Amino acid sequence: MKPILIVTVLPNGGAFGALETGESVFIPSTVLGSRAFSVGDEFNAQVILNDPAKQEKAKYKCLKLMSPKQSKKLLDSLVPLLFRVANSSTTEADAETLRRFFIDRGVTDLETINLKEGNK
């Protein structure tokens, strides 16, 4: 998930946002759903490259949004799981795979967990 700032609200309920890099993201109305949102709101977004024909307007398309509060709640619920994985009989390779899963998705708010030796 990447931080995104709503910069334009469309009449159809969709929006455009900007990543920290300044790149534009199209947010379909189906992703926003019934959320109350306005210009300046911040979310965490899962994005993919937009259709090539549409990349001139928005390089990326949003697949999923979470408010920072929702993201923190999710991360808070995952930390105990990561500790259990790190300290259990789960193989080191499995624990590393789980750790990489979160890192690859931009989750950097977690404390560093030494997956080989467990958390001390």
How is the chain split into domains, by residue range? 2-66, 68-120
SS3 category, 20: coil
Q: Is the pLDDT of residue 59 over 90?
A: yes
Tokens of 83: 């500790």
Q: Which of 23, 26, 38, 44 is nearest to 106 (CA)?
A: 44
Domain 2-66, CATH number (from 3.30.1330.40, 3.40.50.620, 3.40.50.20, 2.40.50.140): 2.40.50.140
pTM above 0.95, yes or no: no
pLDDT tens across 71-116, in order? Answer: 666 666 666 666 665 566 566 666 666 666 666 666 555 544 444 4
Residue 106 is predicted with a pLDDT of 60
52 vs 15, 31, 47, 55, CA distance in Å? 19, 20, 14, 5
